[in-house]
Structure 1
Amino acid sequence: MKKLMILILFVSSVTAFGQSAQFGLKGGLNYGSTGGLDTFAPFAENFSIDGDDKVGFHVGLYSKFKLLGIFVQPELVYTRLNTEYSQDGTSADYNFSKIDIPLLVGLDIVGPLNIKAGPSFQLVLNNDLDGLGVAIEDPENSFTIGYQLGAGVQLGRLGIDLRYEGAFQDNDAISDTNVQDFGFVVDSRPSQWILSLSYQLKGNGDKK
């Protein structure tokens, strides 16, 4: 129900301000990692491994409309991430895909430069762990809320945008194969830098 309400909010916001909205396509690279991998076992020393930052990608749609001197920019984006965990010569890749729905509020400050920030709603699509021979369950919450903040440059219809995405709380995924209660937990919520290139399609307020 919560996921459905957010999607309805996204669509409704674009429709309500459709008379002045601009629409476009976007895509680019992500650089970062999900949270740490923690082991748990009553018979051994537990340890934690930080993930190595790696490059992923994203592609999606955005809408942008102005209201009272600021702009509101909702987006619908597919994101693919990969995080490597390595310890004592053993490594594993955590592959992760999601739908992001940022709802950003921004301000044009100097010439083509703008700043923006807001919540980012995340819907997990798929996650798997390669290299340890152990499967992993879906994250505890398939739907979570984080945040994004950053700056961009708008040059005509072309936009360049750099943001940081962070999390408000962990979202653990647990191994589903335990040997004498041994297992591990991965925090699936990423911390990452997002570099995007966008192209504005013809909006309702453009001249024909």
Structure 2
Amino acid sequence: MKKVLSIALIGFSMWASAQISLAGKANLIFPTGSPSWSNIKGTVNDAINGTGKNNVGFNVGLSLKVGLPTSLFVMPEIYYTHFKNEFTTENTTFDVKSNRIDVPVLLGYNLLGNMLGVFVGPVGSFNLSKDNTYNDFKENAKNDFTVGYQFGAQLEI
């Protein structure tokens, strides 16, 4: 009986370790007004060409990937996110800064085994500090909680 229980526990632990992975992650952020292809392309081009100031942010954190049946997976994450952007349009200067904790819970699908996958899901954000200045108007959104969405693709090397 002890042998059967030991074999069962070892087998379960091997199966469980193959289905769950923990990873450190880091991403670059290109802030954009809306998620249209032209806005995303324009924001990336502005960052490359140097239009605006400090218009690229970053986030770092942890990601847990839990495999589900039929190539699906759930991926809860936690990040520290920072970005700063300053730009001028028609005599109005915008200075946007943000430090926050993001907690996305993503549902994904593996396209090529574990090598390539796509994901989508909600993300809750808690602002640690956020000071936006629009000419003489200043917004302080510290301690605000917001909900948004996230989508993307991943490539595991």
Q: Which amino acid aligns with 2:56?
A: V
- Alpha-carbon distance in 1 for matches of 2:21, 2:106: 14
Q: Write out the 4+ residue segments of structure 1 that deviate beyond 6 Å after TM superposition.
A: none
Q: CA deviation at 1:60?
A: 0.6
Query: Is 1:100 aligned to 2:102, yes or no?
Result: yes
Q: Normalising to structure 2: TM-score of the pair?
A: 0.65
Q: Normalising to structure 1: TM-score of the pair?
A: 0.51
- Alpha-carbon distance in 2 for matches of 1:61, 1:90: 38
The CA RMSD measured in Å over matched residues stands at: 2.6
With over 3 angstroms needed to count, the CA separation of the structure-2 counterparts of 1:117 and 1:88, relative to structure 1, is closer
Question: Which protein, 1 or 2, shows the higher relative CO under an 8 Å CA cutoff with sep ≥ 6?
Answer: 1
Q: CA deviation at 1:88?
A: 4.2
Q: 1:74 aligns with which of 55, 64, 76?
A: 76
- Alpha-carbon distance in 1 for matches of 2:149, 2:139: 26
Identity, in percent, stands at: 31
**Structure 1 stretches of 5 or more lacking a match?**
1-17, 36-51, 156-208
Q: For the Cα contact (< 8 Å) 2:74–2:108, is it kept in 1?
A: yes
1:60 is matched with which residue? Answer: 61
How many residue pairs get aligned? The number is 121
Q: CA deviation at 1:132?
A: 3.8
| Larger Rg over CA atoms | 2
Q: CA deviation at 1:23?
A: 0.7
Show the 5 A alignment for 1:1-208. 20-33=19-32, 53=43, 54-69=55-70, 70-111=72-113, 112-129=115-132, 132=135, 134-138=137-141, 142-155=144-157
Q: CA deviation at 1:135?
A: 3.6
